[in-house]
Structure 1
Amino acid sequence: MPFEYIACPNCGSKVKEYRNPLPTVDIIIEVAGGIVLIERKNEPYGWAIPGGFVDYGETLEAAATRESQEETALEVTNLRLLGCYSDPKRDKRCHTISTVFVAQADGTPQAGDDAAGLGVFPIDALPSPLCFDHAKILADYAATKKRA
């Protein structure tokens, strides 16, 4: 069943509460020497593409730019879409749909926000473990780079 019933806070009537996937963004940031990955401070632990939840009233592009700044201190340019990932099991915490972008950045990334650490890695020498479905996303990214 896609919804449950809850009580309206104003009148007490029974209303449907829909359970919908939550929108997220991930951003593959290309810098000299590779791509930026963060080491997560919170569960699930491991390495991840910088990203996070889209705020209400925010575009996907604005969310990707904001998350990049918050997690890596990098201003990104040339933002472009890689793809969307919607496997209900991609995040064990809840059902999310991620729109994944690729962009470039200059400068020295710094771990921020919910990042315990940060590194720049060549696409053929990624750290382990990778969180969520990021191994699949990065494999798709690598395949697009080979075709270019």
Structure 2
Amino acid sequence: MKKLNYLILLIPFLLLSCSKDSNSSSTPPSYSVQGLWKTTSAVLNGVEKFGGANTVKSELNYFNADGSFSTQSYTDTNFSNLYMYSSGTYTLPTTSIINISSNVYSASGGFLTSSNVSCEVLLINSTQLQLKVLNYPAANDVYIKKFIR
């Protein structure tokens, strides 16, 4: 019986004396928005506006190191039939916000519109980017775009 009592006292002592390696000061990885991103989804107010029966079937987005930004939208999945394009700039005031200012043109080069949006970064990692824009393209709209590298 004495051995059982010692065992019962020993188990909590062993459990409490084990320590975690809490000294590690690992910082979470940070990811850059710079580079080429392919659009995989564009949802406006809960309705998918990309691919399928929609006009735009593929899209390339460039975030360049110098702060310039451009997009090319295509009506096919082979990135060959240009529908429209945009060019402009982006800034990163915080790690969770991307501001984009751009002019949009038709495939023939005719000016269509300009936009200035502030995007909330919902997700960024080495292969995925998700942005959310409120009140775009109109008041009370919610626009969410997803990209892959």
Which TM-score band applies after superposition, normalised by the shorter structure?
Answer: under 0.3
Larger-gyration structure (1/2): 2
Question: Whose strand proportion is higher, 1 or 2?
Answer: 2
Structure showing greater relative contact order (alpha-carbon pairs closer than 8 Å, 6 or more residues apart)? 1
Question: Whose helix proportion is higher, 1 or 2?
Answer: 1
